[in-house]
Chains A and B, each alone.
Chain A
Amino acid sequence: DSGVTQTPKHLITATGQRVTLRCSPRSGDLSVYWYQQSLDQGLQFLIQYYNGEERAKGNILERFSAQQFPDLHSELNLSSLELGDSALYFCASSAPTSGTRGANVLTFGAGSRLTVL
């Protein structure tokens, strides 16, 4: 157990629907990252939050949004789902010294596998 909790582990839904993925970081970690991994592909950076504020953004679609709450858990919202959104979505958190580059060692959660039919 890495200490990063993601729910749900698996999710099957239909095109056009909306889902919310949830992430609880390791105790004490302030930063949360979201990555998308399509089948046997690399890790595509979506977005990063640090202590409730958006810190960095990747190639995140407009249909996707995220936020980090005061208790530091984060949610990734995916709407108007398409078949191509089927993927494993990882959340990662990093240590309290994060926020400055070079100190962001990532601890990944087990991922949420989304299947869009």
Chain B
Amino acid sequence: QQPVQSPQAVILREGEDAVINCSSSKALYSVHWYRQKHGEAPVFLMILLKGGEQKGHDKISASFNEKKQQSSLYLTASQLSYSGTYFCGTEWYSSASKIIFGSGTRLSIRP
């Protein structure tokens, strides 16, 4: 069963902030975040391995709450280049090394 992402889509003006959530019904071992621009392949943003871990990448950061089996991606002071579809990918304790992706969150940034 794939992780659930919310919201499905969000529209921002340049400079605004956004939060994308990812939750799992199974115990998470790790969470990955990828961004896919239209017509391109997904590109790795960050991976979170430990409960409570937070990582940052420029003005994009993420947290991982192992107890709640949730991760959130934070986009601060959004830029036009942030547009695209964001996918969270999860690895579960109960499974092998397969990475299952959520359905994605489409982010549109307006000038």
Given A90-B42, A108-B43, A111-B41: A42 in contact with B97 (beta carbons within 8 A): no
Residue of A nearest to B30 (CB): A102
Residue of A nearest to B38 (CB): A40
Given A106-B44, A108-B43, A111-B41: A101 in contact with B30 (beta carbons within 8 A): yes
- In the assembled complex, B104 has its CB within 8 A of some CB on chain A: yes
Number of interface residues, chain B, beta carbon within 8 A: 25
Interface residues of A in 38-97 (CB under 8 A from B): 41-45, 48, 50, 55-58, 90
The total of interchain contacts (Cβ-Cβ below 8 angstroms) comes to 71
Would A45 and B41 count as touching, CB distance under 8 A?
A: no
Would B101 and A42 count as touching, CB distance under 8 A?
A: yes
Residue of A nearest to B40 (CB): A110
Would B98 and A42 count as touching, CB distance under 8 A?
A: no
| Cα(A41)–Cα(B40), bound, Å | 13
Option from A42, A56, A90, A106 in Cβ contact (under 8 Å) with B103: A42
Interface set of A (CB-CB < 8 Å, partner B) = 2, 31, 33, 35, 41-45, 48, 50, 55-58, 90, 98-102, 104-111
